[in-house]
Amino acid sequence: MSDAGALVDSHGRRLRDLRISVTDRCNFRCLYCLPETEAAQHFYRGHWAGAADPAPIDHPWLPRAHLLTFEEIERTVRIAAGLGIQKVRVTGGEPLLRRQVEQLVARLARIPGLEDLALTTNGFLFRSKAQALRDAGLKRVSFSLDSLDPENFRKITGRDGLAEVLAAIRLAQDLGLNPVKVNAVIIRGLNDHELEALAEFGHAHGLHLRFIEFMPLDSARAWSRDLVVTGREMLQRLEARYALQPVLSDSQAETARRWRFARGGPGEIGLIAPVSEPFCGHCNRLRLTADGHVRTCLFSVVEHDLRSHLRSGETDAAVGAWLRGVAWNKEARHRIGEPDFVAPSRSMSCIGG
Ligand code: SAM
């Protein structure tokens, strides 16, 4: 496809990756996302840089009528695939809370031009949906798992769910949804002591562990720089424990720097360091919120109302032209750490991780 019919931005990037949030609801209250538990309040008080407590949380769930329907999401992906989008990730909130999400996966799996269809989940409800998702055409799944210690898992997520998530990961592997990725957000004083144990777990089970820096995307705006364990620090610690070999990627747009274990095995480690080592220059992602707004960056302060275009009788060609205009204005980079940085008004759970 020539650039004339593609999603390109004014910085010369061609957009190929669309992340779709199918609900803003979540059954976990992760400390780095929706810190609504007492444990979260307690943790942040101990680390709070200023005198004040974390800001109060105020995020009513979206009314159902505001959510894009499966038909609307499918139409959007068809249009986007016609403009060069090749990868779609279904996310949330917790995507498995969206009723019959497997039907959406089946619709998306049939769209010509899509090469990759993945889902990100906390895993709690995965076992009841796994076979249906596989049958619907899901190719890959990423789980979030920030602790292997039941107590710490509960502190971080607000839920007693470690056993469920571990079982979900095993099942995904048994169903051949490989490679199974596991995302762990590493936060100083919370779970950084588990870094090596998580890496070991990944190695033992042939998983692709992705260690992610804590980003200022929590609804309480309690993020502070001293809580961030940088990718460099994580790598130093992992290299002190393991001989690692870099994995060369064929895609510059990949978010993770990756290593395999020199001692062998299918497991892999990846570091995602958007705070300390931004990779915006190669970012090829667009995001669609559950209420049908396009975000051109995780840290966008403006959103673009696709839903009204979809619901006002416009042709696919008109929606596509609008989308190309939105993509053109994608931000050059996020501004974390710069004096004029403004944290987005919506948390990761609303934006879609
Ligand atoms: N509920 C699903 C899950 O837990 O995987 C999908 C949505 S969740 C918002 C997607 C990813 O965003 C998770 O892997 C989570 O760890 C990550 N995430 C959420 N808030 C984050 C933050 N403040 N910094 C870094 N990663 C974050």
- With a cut of 80, say whether residue 325 has pLDDT above it: yes
Greatest distance between any 2 Cα atoms in the chain: 59
Cβ–ligand 1 distance for 121 under 6 Å, the answer yes
Query: Would you state the pLDDT for residue 55?
Result: 59
Distance between CA atoms of 198 and 153, rounded to whole angstroms?
12
pLDDT tens by residue, 124-161: 999 999 999 999 999 999 999 999 999 999 999 999 99
On the question of a cis peptide bond just before residue 179, with omega within 30 degrees of 0, the verdict is yes
- With a cut of 70, say whether residue 322 has pLDDT above it: yes
Cβ–ligand 1 distance for 218 under 6 Å, the answer yes
Taking residues 98-121, report their average pLDDT: 97
Query: Would you state the pLDDT for residue 11?
Result: 95
| Greater model confidence, 341 or 244 | 244
Cβ–ligand 1 distance for 7 under 6 Å, the answer no
Query: Would you state the pLDDT for residue 60?
Result: 76
- With a cut of 50, say whether residue 92 has pLDDT above it: yes
Distance between CA atoms of 100 and 104, rounded to whole angstroms?
7
Cβ–ligand 1 distance for 145 under 6 Å, the answer no
Let me know if 236 is exposed, middle or buried by CB neighbors in 10 A (0-12, 13-18, 19+).
exposed
Query: Would you state the pLDDT for residue 2?
Result: 57
DSSP letter string over 93-147?
S-GGGSTTHHHHHHHHHTSTT--EEEEEE-STTHHHHHHHHHHHT--EEEEE---
The Cβ of residue 167 has, within 10 Å, a number of other Cβ atoms equal to 13
Query: Would you state the pLDDT for residue 219?
Result: 85
- What backbone torsions phi and psi does residue 188 show, to the nearest 5 degrees? -65, 130
Name the closest-CA residue to atom 2, ligand 1: 121
| Greater model confidence, 335 or 300 | 300
Taking residues 190-213, report their average pLDDT: 98
Cβ–ligand 1 distance for 147 under 6 Å, the answer no
At 3, is the pLDDT very low, low, confident or very high (cuts 50, 70, 90)? low
* Spacing of C-alpha 215 from chain mean position: 12
Ligand 1 centroid–CA 33 distance in Å is 7
Q: Say which residues have a Cβ less than 8 Å from residue 2's Cβ, sequence separation at least 6.
A: none
* Beta-strand pair 208-213/268-272: parallel
Cβ–ligand 1 distance for 91 under 6 Å, the answer yes
Torsion, Cα 189 192 198 199, to 10 degrees, reads -170
What tokens does 130 get?
A: 């796994």
The Cβ of residue 341 has, within 10 Å, a number of other Cβ atoms equal to 12
Name the closest-CA residue to atom 5, ligand 1: 121
Cβ–ligand 1 distance for 83 under 6 Å, the answer no
Which atom number of ligand 1 is nearest to the Cα of residue 94? 1
| Greater model confidence, 183 or 63 | 183
* Beta-strand pair 244-247/304-305: unpaired
330-to-96, 254, 300 alpha-carbon distances in Å? 29, 18, 9
Cβ–ligand 1 distance for 211 under 6 Å, the answer no
Whether the pTM exceeds 0.75: the reply is yes
Query: Would you state the pLDDT for residue 61?
Result: 87
At 87, is the pLDDT very low, low, confident or very high (cuts 50, 70, 90)? very high
Name the closest-CA residue to atom 11, ligand 1: 353
Average pLDDT, the chain: 92
Ligand 1 centroid–CA 173 distance in Å is 21
Name the closest-CA residue to atom 1, ligand 1: 94
Query: Would you state the pLDDT for residue 255?
Result: 86
Q: Which of 348, 349, 350 most suits a substitution to test ligand 1, by most atoms within 8 Å of the C-beta?
A: 348
Taking residues 29-41, report their average pLDDT: 91
Taking residues 90-117, report their average pLDDT: 97
- With a cut of 70, say whether residue 183 has pLDDT above it: yes
- With a cut of 60, say whether residue 50 has pLDDT above it: no
Cβ–ligand 1 distance for 296 under 6 Å, the answer no
Taking residues 48-54, report their average pLDDT: 55
- With a cut of 50, say whether residue 51 has pLDDT above it: no
Cβ–ligand 1 distance for 24 under 6 Å, the answer no
- With a cut of 90, say whether residue 46 has pLDDT above it: no
Query: Would you state the pLDDT for residue 334?
Result: 84
Give one word for 264, left, alpha or beta, with left for phi > 0 and alpha for psi -120 to 50: left
Cβ–ligand 1 distance for 183 under 6 Å, the answer yes
Taking only Cα atoms into account, the Rg of the chain, rounded to an integer number of angstroms, comes to 20
Query: Would you state the pLDDT for residue 54?
Result: 58
Query: Would you state the pLDDT for residue 110?
Result: 98
Which atom number of ligand 1 is nearest to the Cα of residue 183? 14
Sheet holding 285-288, edge to edge: 244-247, 257-261, 268-272, 208-213, 181-186, 140-144, 116-121, 87-91, 17-21, 285-288, 293-295, 304-305
Distance between CA atoms of 175 and 172, rounded to whole angstroms?
5
